[in-house]
């Protein structure tokens, strides 16, 4: 797969996707969105991949829109809308992917970069990283479903504060309000992130996919719908080879080896 703006590597069930525009602090372009969609499709289709990690080359995760391109004035209104739709399509794909996505925020995550991190299943941050939503401060608006997801993660009052004021949070602050899942030292950040990813990759993939879907949608469906969906999930999992492997491994006091079957 030829890529201009991303680095894509697979190893031990983990797909690592790195934004590769460090000279622009990994600011997003239409090409980056297009390439990221192609990669996410590959992650979905590759049965050997159990988890995806998004991170950035250099000192940023992703600082959002490339303002140099925005300011060039060379795009038609249709092209501008297509560019803006690119982020919505990518975030929708991350949300609907059957495999967990980790945002490994190694540096600045601002604007669209923060939104890509927020829509991911796990948001890991280096202790010296920063995340923020400056859109209101520069006269634009938010994307990536953040107006839906952020209040669920941190509460409506705190979401208003972050969005209206545009303040940046470091890793410790983000974890304290429930935005960051884990915070790791900058010196060991990627090693710690990969260890976290490997723990996820060792779990039963069919069960993981069902859990992700139900967690993402169950909050809106009510208790009875959740109970019905869970019953169907438990019934389905009990028909799989992975279920039998889990039972056997427990009885034999060993770690299960799941195959997604």
Q: What is the C-alpha separation between 239 and 233, in angstroms, rounded?
A: 10
Q: What is the C-alpha separation between 229 and 213, in angstroms, rounded?
A: 10
Q: Which of 57, 69, 135, 224 is catalytic?
A: 135
* Chain CA centroid to CA 199, Å: 16
Q: Which of 115, 161, 232, 261 is catalytic?
A: 115
Q: What is the C-alpha separation between 256 and 152, in angstroms, rounded?
A: 33
Is 232 among the catalytic positions? no
Strand pairing class (6-11; 14-19):
antiparallel
Is 135 among the catalytic positions? yes
As separate numbers, helices (DSSP H) first and strands (DSSP E) second, the chain gives 11, 10
First-to-last CA distance in the chain? 28
Catalytic amino acids?
115, 135
């Amino acid at each position: 797969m030829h890529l201009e703006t991303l680095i894509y590597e697979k190893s031990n069930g983990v797909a690592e996707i790195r934004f590769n525009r460090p000279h622009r602090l990994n600011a997003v372009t239409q090409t980056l969105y297009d390439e990221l969609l192609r990669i996410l499709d590959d992650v979905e289709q590759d049965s050997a991949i159990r988890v995806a990690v998004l991170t950035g080359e250099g000192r940023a995760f992703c600082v959002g829109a490339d303002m140099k391109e925005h300011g060039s004035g060379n795009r038609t209104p249709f092209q501008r809308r297509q560019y803006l739709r690119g982020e919505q399509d990518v975030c929708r794909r991350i949300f609907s992917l059957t495999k967990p996505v980790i945002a490994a925020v190694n540096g600045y995550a601002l604007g669209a970069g923060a939104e890509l991190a927020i829509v991911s299943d796990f948001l890991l941050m280096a202790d010296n990283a920063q995340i923020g939503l400056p859109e209101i401060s520069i006269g634009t608006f938010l994307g990536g479903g953040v107006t839906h997801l952020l209040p669920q993660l941190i509460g409506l009052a705190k979401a208003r504060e972050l969005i209206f004021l545009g303040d940046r949070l470091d890793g410790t602050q983000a974890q304290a309000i429930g935005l960051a899942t884990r915070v790791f030292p900058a010196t060991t950040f990627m090693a710690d992130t990969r260890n976290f990813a490997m723990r996820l990759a060792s779990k039963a993939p069919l069960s993981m996919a069902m859990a992700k879907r139900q967690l993402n949608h169950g909050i809106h469906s009510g208790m009875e719908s959740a109970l019905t969906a869970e019953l169907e999930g438990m019934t389905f999992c009990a028909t799989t080879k992975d279920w039998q492997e889990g039972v056997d491994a427990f009885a034999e006091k060993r770690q299960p080896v799941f195959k997604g079957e």
